Amino acid sequence: WCFFLAGGGGGGGAVAVRCQDGPPLDKNPLDLSEDNVIQAIEEAKQTLGTIFGNSAENQAIGITGDCTLVDLDGPFVTVRLQGRFWHKRADVLARVENYLMMRLPEIIEVSIEDPKQLDDELPENQQK
């Protein structure tokens, strides 16, 4: 789903559109390259905010989650999830995948480096 944010009064303000878990629609799609995938992952971490450990507040309470690029093989992206997340790891992967596929339309699939990285109960996935 999408929502609209109207700016300014008098009918002359800008309107920003954002789809859930996706980039603002005023951003142009990126061409598929390793640098652009890395850029989009960093944007996703900012846009999706609290599910990651990218703020001092989150880190202070033990949320240290991070997502990094492992491999780009044509339109197939492989990522790594590390640390602790607010949400289930499978949900984090799905939200990152959605963001990346909207930002880089050439991507066909985003997969995880190791299926064990999706197990919320493994001790290594709970490390701060």
Residues 38-76: pLDDT tens digits?
A: 999 999 999 888 788 778 888 888 888 999 999 999 999
Q: Quick check: pTM over 0.75?
A: yes
Report pLDDT for 62. 85
- pLDDT at site 125: 85
Question: In this structure, which long-range contacts are made by residues 46-52, counting pairs with CB atoms below 8 Å and at least 24 apart in sequence?
Answer: 47/21, 47/22, 47/23, 47/99, 48/21, 48/95, 48/96, 48/99, 50/86, 51/85, 51/86, 51/87, 51/91, 51/92, 51/95, 52/85
